[in-house]
């Protein structure tokens, strides 16, 4: 029992140490701009543009459901134009960033872990090093920067999509007029709603990419190892998104 | 010159290298032979700093590899070409892009890179495969692209990790010829890790046998073939214990 606790504590300390070195290496790699800047646009396209259909699909249905649930909850007690308030606030502050983050933890995080994990077990990462490339500046930094920059863009479009489908649902099914929906949408809006959601999504993107790359480059043990790293990348990213979500709410919204 | 100084390396409880000492003078091709799992590839990876020793060090042209920082390692790796056991080609890049990748780290213009890629592919008899992807190549062709990628850098040292493993005898012989040709063409110092004795006798100036983490014997090809050492004899005759 004590030996098991000791082993786990030692493993946790070792993992924390490796994480620290990984992040320090990532910081150092920023100086190698000649390498990562060439790869950044390609990664932004892969992470941003290619993820848009999934994010927009999720947001579209979220907007519909939010409008219907708001109407269901408000009936008889709260004026119906508050549907616009709830759809807008919820999409901007919470569901836009978090649902998109969780969905892309699967798509983007898993892709990064699997891709880098495969490169690791097939010695492609070693080959990069022998060709005098730093894997941090060639593989990790472009992905982390691209995810950090593109997640706010994806989330902004998701929020717009959710509000749009919420509005269309209100028109078609709740018999709410456009001016009423917009009145509700503007009712308690503050600019902080916008920047908070986008800032949060940038931290989610950064987290997903860092975890995906860390897991990928830490892969060992062939195909089974790649599967293990991929699964861990998705689970750890999802957990960290929820933790960060609570943290930012506590720090920024109080 | 590459020198292994009392190199120790273990993975968990398993000690792989237990005091490897060996010198590879400039201009020589040293072949390291030994049983599977004896630590040959581990020794090779220490030369380019892909592994960090538990004790001892590898000295390359006076530079202690384990003490080098990132910039020092990058400078060292510019002098070394490494041919991986399974080629380690980048799947998402064409043959030409694979060969050009290392060159893009140097101050070369696009025309010079293209010329070096063409030259390297010609040297390994792969002219015309520029646009093909690794998945479209046979195992032997992939290994030759791996060699082309290494020699395109015009390195001072070439390291080969099991260059003939998994190849048929004819393709293996072709690979041996390539290694000899690369050496004659570039005048490089080579370290070849293999358990293919025919290959060792063809490409090596000297042969070192790694056994239980240390060098058991270093000798010329002829001396190795005539050795009285029972462990080396057993290995080269392929007798079961």
* Mean pLDDT of all residues in A150-164: 96
CB-based contact A124 B70, cutoff 8 Å:
no
User: Tokens 């786990």 sit at which residue?
Assistant: A8
* Tens-digit pLDDT profile for residues B14-57: 999 999 999 999 999 999 999 988 999 999 999 999 999 999 99
Determine the Cα–Cα distance for residues A180 and A79; give it in Å rounded to an integer. 10
Instruction: Measure CA of the first residue to CA of the last residue in chain A; give whole Å.
Output: 42
Query: Which residues from B are below 8 Å from A130, CB to CB?
Result: 48, 50, 77, 80-82
- Give the number of other Cβ atoms within 10 Å of residue A116's Cβ: 27
Burial tier of B224 (Cβ tally within 10 Å: 0-12, 13-18, 19+): buried
Q: How confident is the model at residue B241 (pLDDT cuts 50, 70, 90)?
A: low
Confidence check: pLDDT of B210 > 90: yes
* Tens-digit pLDDT profile for residues A168-188: 999 999 989 999 999 999 988
Q: Is B85 helix (H, G, I), strand (E, B) or coil?
A: coil
Cα R_g (chain A), whole angstroms = 21
Taking a C-beta distance cutoff of 8 angstroms, is the pair B88, A123 a contact? Answer: yes
Q: How confident is the model at residue B165 (pLDDT cuts 50, 70, 90)?
A: confident
**Token duo for residue B17:** 């290298």
Taking a C-beta distance cutoff of 8 angstroms, is the pair A107, A53 a contact? Answer: no
Determine the Cα–Cα distance for residues B87 and B155; give it in Å rounded to an integer. 17
Which residues does residue A125 pair with via DSSP β-bridges, in sequence order? none
Taking a C-beta distance cutoff of 8 angstroms, is the pair B213, B18 a contact? Answer: yes
Determine the Cα–Cα distance for residues B67 and B167; give it in Å rounded to an integer. 37
Confidence check: pLDDT of A128 > 90: yes
pLDDT recorded at residue B37: 87
Q: Is A127 on the interface with B (CB under 8 A)?
A: yes
Distance from CA of B231 to the nearest CA of A (A): 32
Chain A residue nearest residue B76, CA to CA: A132
The percent of residues above 70 in pLDDT, for chain A, comes to 100
How far is residue A86 from each of residues A107, A127, A189, measured CA to CA in Å? 28, 53, 11
Q: Is A126 on the interface with B (CB under 8 A)?
A: yes
Chain A residue nearest residue B146, CA to CA: A127
* Mean pLDDT of all residues in B153-165: 92
Sign of CA dihedral B5, B6, B12, B15: positive
pLDDT recorded at residue B89: 95
Taking a C-beta distance cutoff of 8 angstroms, is the pair A237, A167 a contact? Answer: no
Distance from CA of B144 to the nearest CA of A (A): 15
Prediction ipTM score: 0.90
Chain A residue nearest residue B47, CA to CA: A130
Closest to B157 in 3D by CA, of B76, B70, B93, B41 = B76
Residue B13's φ and ψ, nearest 5 degrees, are -80, -10
CB-based contact B84 A134, cutoff 8 Å:
no
**Which candidate from A28, A124, A130 shows the least CB-CB separation from B82?**
A130
Non-local CB neighbours of A198 within 8 Å, separated by 6+ positions: A97, A152, A155, A156
* Mean pLDDT of all residues in A228-251: 96
Determine the Cα–Cα distance for residues B205 and B183; give it in Å rounded to an integer. 11
Which contacts of A241-244 are long-range, i.e. CB under 8 A and separated by 24 or more positions? A241/A98, A241/A101, A241/A102, A241/A105, A241/A204, A241/A207, A241/A208, A242/A98, A244/A200, A244/A203, A244/A204, A244/A207
* Tens-digit pLDDT profile for residues B100-126: 999 998 888 999 999 999 999 998 888
């Amino acid at each position: 029992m004590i030996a098991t606790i000791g082993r786990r504590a030692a493993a946790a300390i070792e993992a924390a140490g490796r994480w620290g070195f990984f992040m320090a290496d990532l910081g150092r790699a920023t100086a190698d701009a000649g390498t990562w800047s060439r790869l950044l646009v390609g990664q932004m396209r892969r992470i941003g543009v290619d993820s848009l259909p999934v994010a927009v699909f999720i947001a579209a249905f979220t907007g519909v459901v939010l409008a219907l649930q708001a109407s269901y909850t408000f009936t008889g007690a709260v004026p119906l134009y508050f549907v616009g308030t709830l759809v807008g606030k919820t999409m901007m502050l919470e569901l836009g960033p978090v649902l998109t983050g969780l969905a892309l933890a699967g798509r983007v995080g898993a892709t990064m872990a699997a891709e880098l994990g495969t490169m690791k077990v097939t010695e492609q990462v070693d080959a990069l090093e022998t060709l005098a490339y730093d894997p941090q500046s060639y593989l990790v930094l472009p992905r982390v920067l691209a995810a950090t920059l593109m997640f706010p863009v994806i989330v902004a479009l998701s929020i717009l999509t959710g509000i749009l489908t919420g509005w269309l649902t209100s028109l078609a099914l709740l018999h709410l007029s456009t001016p009423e929906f917009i009145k509700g949408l503007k009712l308690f809006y503050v600019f902080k709603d916008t920047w908070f959601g986008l800032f949060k999504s940038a931290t989610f993107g950064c987290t997903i990419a860092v975890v995906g790359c860390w897991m990928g480059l830490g892969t060992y043990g062939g195909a089974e190892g790649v599967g293990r790293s991929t699964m861990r990348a998705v689970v750890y990213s999802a957990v960290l998104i929820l933790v960060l979500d609570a943290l930012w709410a506590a720090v920024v919204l109080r | 010159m590459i020198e292994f100084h009392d190199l120790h390396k273990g993975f968990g409880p398993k000690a792989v290298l237990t005091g490897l000492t060996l010198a590879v003078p400039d201009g020589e091709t040293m072949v390291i032979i030994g049983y599977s799992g004896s630590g040959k590839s581990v020794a090779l990876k220490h030369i380019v700093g892909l592994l960090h020793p538990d004790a001892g060090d590898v000295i390359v042209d006076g530079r202690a590899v384990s003490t080098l920082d990132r910039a020092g390692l990058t400078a060292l790796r510019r002098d070394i070409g490494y041919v991986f056991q399974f080629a380690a080609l980048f799947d998402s890049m064409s043959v030409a892009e694979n060969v050009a990748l290392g060159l893009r780290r140097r101050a070369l213009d696009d025309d010079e890179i293209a010329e070096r890629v063409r030259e390297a592919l010609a040297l390994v008899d792969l002219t015309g495969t520029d646009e093909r992807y690794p998945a479209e190549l046979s195992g032997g062709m992939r290994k030759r692209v791996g060699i082309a990628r290494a020699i395109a850098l015009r390195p001072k040292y070439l390291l080969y990790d099991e260059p003939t493993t998994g190849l048929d005898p004819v393709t293996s012989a072709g690979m041996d010829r390539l290694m000899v040709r690369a050496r004659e063409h570039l005048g490089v110092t080579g370290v070849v890790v293999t358990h293919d004795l025919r290959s060792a006798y063809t490409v090596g100036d000297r042969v070192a046998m790694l056994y239980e983490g240390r060098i058991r014997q270093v000798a010329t090809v002829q001396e190795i073939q005539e050795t009285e050492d029972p462990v080396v004899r057993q290995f080269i005759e392929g007798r079961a214990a």
